[in-house]
């Protein structure tokens, strides 16, 4: 049984590694670093979930803008998108969820919380069907 594909959008390679290591037990993580690569990746193959950093540096759209573009495309309606970000001031969670993210996790990440979120988000039947 193949694990569901999860796209990690994260410009910091250390944090990408941490996130990849955290979710590896239940997913098949693919890592990209900016807006352009994100669009290429979701165009090339089907993802169940995207873990999206917000601040992707000055050469990329931020995670929120990317999320909105993806959500506008009817082809990608099935993709769930979680914000995984260092923006963790009071009100940030509400702000990101209101913007359209399907979930919010602050950094430093809590491994168990993220795994729980992923399990809830990904329909096991779909995961098996994709396999």
Of the candidate spans 26-34, 73-81, 87-95, 115-123, the one that interacts with another protein by CB under 8 A turns out to be 87-95
Q: Is there binding between residue 17 and another protein (CB under 8 A)?
A: yes
Q: For residue 116, what are the CA distances in angstroms to 14, 120, 121?
A: 22, 6, 9
* Closer to another protein by Cβ: residue 19 or 42: 19
Q: Is there binding between residue 124 and another protein (CB under 8 A)?
A: no
Q: Is there binding between residue 111 and another protein (CB under 8 A)?
A: yes
CA atoms within a 13 Å half-sphere pointing along the CA-CB vector of 120 = 10
Q: Is there binding between residue 28 and another protein (CB under 8 A)?
A: no
* Closer to another protein by Cβ: residue 71 or 111: 111
Residue from the set 31, 65, 100, 106 that interacts with another protein by CB under 8 A? 106
Of the candidate spans 32-40, 70-78, 79-87, 115-123, the one that interacts with another protein by CB under 8 A turns out to be 79-87
Residues in contact with another protein, counted by CB under 8 A, come to a total of 21
The DSSP letter of residue 4 is: P
Residue 8 bridge partners (DSSP): 31, 51
The two structure tokens encoding residue 105: 């996790």
Q: For residue 76, what are the CA distances in angstroms to 4, 68, 70?
A: 16, 11, 6
Q: Is there binding between residue 12 and another protein (CB under 8 A)?
A: yes
Coil, strand or helix at 32: strand
């Amino acid at each position: 049984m193949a694990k569901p594909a999860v796209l990690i959008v994260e410009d910091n390679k250390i944090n990408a590694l941490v996130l990849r290591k955290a979710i590896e037990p239940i997913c098949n993580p693919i890592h990209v670093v900016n807006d352009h690569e994100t669009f290429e990746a979701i165009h090339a193959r089907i993802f169940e979930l995207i873990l999206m950093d917000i601040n992707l540096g000055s050469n990329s759209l931020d995670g929120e803008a990317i999320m909105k573009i993806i959500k506008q495309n009817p082809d990608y309606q099935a993709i769930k998108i979680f914000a995984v970000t260092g923006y963790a001031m009071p009100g940030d969670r509400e702000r990101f969820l209101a913007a359209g993210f399907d979930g919010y996790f602050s950094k430093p990440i809590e491994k168990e919380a993220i795994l729980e979120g992923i399990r809830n988000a990904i329909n096991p039947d779909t995961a098996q069907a994709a396999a």
